[in-house]
Structure formats: structure tokens, C-alpha cells
Amino acid sequence: GQSLEQPSEVTAVEGAIVQINCTYQTSGFYGLSWYQQHDGGAPTFLSYNALDGLEETGRFSSFLSRSDSYGYLLLQELQMKDSASYFCAVRPYGNNRLAFGKGNQVVVIP
């Protein structure tokens, strides 16, 4: 099966950098995705890593290391609108399901 672990809450000031980690235990998966959710709203897709390494999308970057069973989302130049919950998710081999971590809440303060 799969389980994904994420720390629960991070507080940071505007302009700072925050790294949200995701460690997982799964026998095999297609890739690691990241989603953002504001205050109980619809989760929205941020990024995806199919291969090991760093993927950069504007202020957000995501990293995957399959050998370490570890990934992270890096939020740079934090803005107030980045206050949200961030979820990692994997799609295990053999099916089309997404398994989500419990999420990490980021609080950005002035």
C-alpha cells in the first residue's frame, strides 16, 4: 500500500522561502503531485514530478528522489495569497487512483 507523511503547519513571513516535505511508503508509483487548497475550497494542481530531480514553475518548485522516498515543494518569495494547505499525492502503479498525504498548512504573515 501507500502512505504519505507531511508535517502539519508552517508559519513564515512574506518574501521568505518555505519547503514542504513529503515522505512516502509505496511499492511503486508513476509520480509525485502537489496540490494547493485555500480554506476548504477546491484543491488545485500545482506541479508533478515523474522523474527524480527538480521541476520549476514560477515561484514554486518541486523535487523528487525515488531512492530516498522523499519529495518536497519549495515556495519562494512568499505572498499572503500562498497561505493555504498543500498536499502531496502519488499515483501507484497498476491503477489510476491518487493517494493524498494529510496536508501541510502554510500561514504567511506580514
Partner 1 sequence: EAQVTQNPRYLITVTGKKLTVTCSQNMNHEYMSWYRQDPGLGLRQIYYSMNVEVTDKGDVPEGYKVSRKEKRNFPLILESPSPNQTSLYFCASSYPGSYEQYFGPGTRLTVT
Q: Give the interface with partner 1 as residue ranges (CB under 8 A).
A: 30-31, 33, 40-45, 48, 50, 87, 91, 96-103
Nearer to partner 1, 48 or 70 (CB): 48
Q: Whose Cβ is closer to partner 1: residue 64's or residue 75's? A: 64
Number of helices (H), then strands (E), belonging to the chain: the values are 0, 11
Q: How far is the CB of 21 from partner 1 (least distance, A)?
A: 15
Closer residue to partner 1 in complex, CB, 18/90: 90
109 vs 10, 72, 74, 99, CA distance in Å? 11, 22, 17, 30
Report the Cα 92 to chain-centroid distance in Å: 16
